[in-house]
Amino acid sequence: MEAFLAAKTCSIISSKMENILKPDKENKLESRCRIASSSQAAPSSRRHTIVCTGALFVTTLAFNYGLTPSVVWAEDKSKGQEEDDTGVVGAIKSLLDPNEKTKSGKVLPKAYLKSAREVVKTLRESLKEDPNDIAKFRRTADAAKESIREYLSSWRGQQTVAQEESYVELERAIRSLASFYSKAGPSAPLPEEVKSEILNDLDTAEGFL
């Protein structure tokens, strides 16, 4: 009787899995259940129960590990796509925005910040260059002159930036340089004291850019 009930239970379990398992796997499962139920001894009944339980366990693993990961992967892919889209939109907005936040937290025109940073970079390199290396000194001096010329032609007196600390410091540095050369001549060596003051002004300006 126990063997009969076990066989009946196995048969019900097998029929429940018919939509999940392939036909050949289903036939194998039923065959194993029939073979197990043919014996009337108690050990055979126990083996029959183990076979059915094992078959159900394997089927469950195949179902869960075969289908569930694909659903999780699809959800992760969807989330990753949303994050990528957000990043792209943010990058586009950043490119289209004419303003930029500075180190000090202020929002200023990107064009101004780019021009001012170029002045700081090229003028600092020119002041630190060894004047004995004439060719290199001229290259850095010419680069500084060009960046200063473009900066002044675009932003000198502009009310949008005229009150900014970076603008004030750059104007002081440029004015000190122009004042010295207008008095000493364009080929005069820059004294260390004047050079140090200008470099300090550049450092201060850079802190607001």
For residue 29, pLDDT over 80 is answered with: no
Q: Residue 82 has what pLDDT?
A: 63
Domain spans, the chain: 2-92, 99-207
Q: Residue 57 has what pLDDT?
A: 43
Q: pLDDT (tens digit, 9 = 90+) per residue, 170-199? A: 999 999 999 999 999 888 889 999 999 999
| Angle in degrees, 0-180, between the axes of helices 110-128 and 134-155, rounded to the nearest 10 | 150
Q: Is domain 99-207 classified as CATH 3.90.660.20?
A: no
Q: Residue 45 has what pLDDT?
A: 47
pTM (two decimals) = 0.57
Cα–Cα distance list, 18 to 53, 70, 185 (Å): 16, 22, 99
CB atoms inside a 10 Å sphere around CB 22: 9
Q: pLDDT (tens digit, 9 = 90+) per residue, 50-102? A: 444 444 444 444 444 444 445 555 566 666 666 665 666 555 655 668 999 98
For residue 161, pLDDT over 90 is answered with: yes
Tokens of 110: 């990107």
β-partners of residue 100 are 108
